[in-house]
Structure 1
């Protein structure tokens, strides 16, 4: 039995083969061989295949866990972003309200300042009017006084004669003497 052909043609092999039976149909023989090979693969490869499937299963589970963790992180970040957005909206509303109230205060301040300026101008106008009125009254008084004095002088000139003139001089001299005696 030096090579494989001697084994096939030996008598022991044929008796062994007869117990199994030899199938000369090539199509059926290939199916049987395929079944035997698959059976051997399943028997011997079952451990390898199951390890591969376990590893694949663990990889899928880890991927699912990672995806779930990333989903939770993304959800948390989304919630935080929503909270920050709401806070930003509130702050924007506060800024807008503060801006509007500041604008109203400044508007009221401008109105008050304009009212104050208007009152000061009115007071200044009234003071100027009073001053001009008093000046006009004073001018009228001076003119009236001048006219009254002119009339009085004219009346005195017309009525004043030498006798009235002497009596006035004597009267004024008497007043001066009386003043002198009270002073001494």
Structure 2
């Protein structure tokens, strides 16, 4: 390292007329120094920079590939979901149609059952009505018979005298004897 320092000191004292040396004027040498530094950086940093850029490029490409794969997977899942949705919608339509059909069948069954129950109830009702009519007719007949009998008795009692009464009894006795003789 001492040799490097010695040579830099030696070069700094070297006359600038046609030789190589360091110019200590900062403002005058700024562009030259910058171009030398940039040249050195480009020459030596080229590999590092290109490695960095290549690594970055690979990361970007890998990210793009992963994104494309994820996009493809998402597209496949979306298509599967659409297929499932179509299947579910088709199945829901079938269930809806079957539900409406079943509702109509149950409605018809209920109507038929109600009609049958009504008919079953109608027969006993008709029998009850017929029975009540018959009973009312019998009661009316009995009342009419009683009234007729009362009138007949009233008429007989008012017109029947003892002679007519005796003739009726004798006539009835004669009928009974005739019946007895025919049976013997």
- TM-score, normalised with respect to structure 1: 0.67
1:25/1:165 CA distance change after superposition, 3 Å: closer
CA distance in 2, matches of 1:70, 1:93: 34
Q: Which residue of the partner structure matches residue 47 of structure 1? A: 47
* Separation of aligned partners in 2, 1:129 and 1:82: 68
Q: What residue in structure 2 maps to residue 18 of structure 1?
A: 18
Partner of 1:160: 168
Q: Structure 1: how far apart are the matches of 2:169 and 2:24?
A: 192
In structure 2, what is the equivalent of residue 66 of structure 1?
66
For these two proteins, the number of residue pairs brought into alignment is 170
1:169 aligns with 2:173: no
Secondary structure at 1:18 match in 2? coil
Q: C-alpha separation between the residues in 1 aligned to 2:182 and 2:144?
A: 29
> Shift of the alpha carbon at 1:34?
1.8
CA distance in structure 2 between the partners assigned to 1:139 and 1:123 by the alignment: 24
For the residues of structure 2 that align with 1:136 and 1:101, how far apart are their CA atoms? 51
Match of 1:88 in 2: 88
Which residue of structure 1 lines up, in the alignment, with residue 36 of structure 2? 36
Q: Find the counterpart in structure 1 of residue 161 from structure 2.
A: none
Instruction: Return the alpha-carbon distance in structure 2 between the equivalents of residues 28 and 89 of structure 1.
Output: 83
Structure 1: runs of 5 or more not aligned: 178-184
Distance 1:36 1:176, change over 3 A: same
The two structures, once aligned, show a CA RMSD in angstroms of 3.8
Structure 1 SS opposite 2:117: helix
Do structure 1's residue 103 and structure 2's residue 103 form an aligned pair?
yes
1:6 to 7, 10, 35: 10
Aligned partner of 1:124 in structure 2 is 124
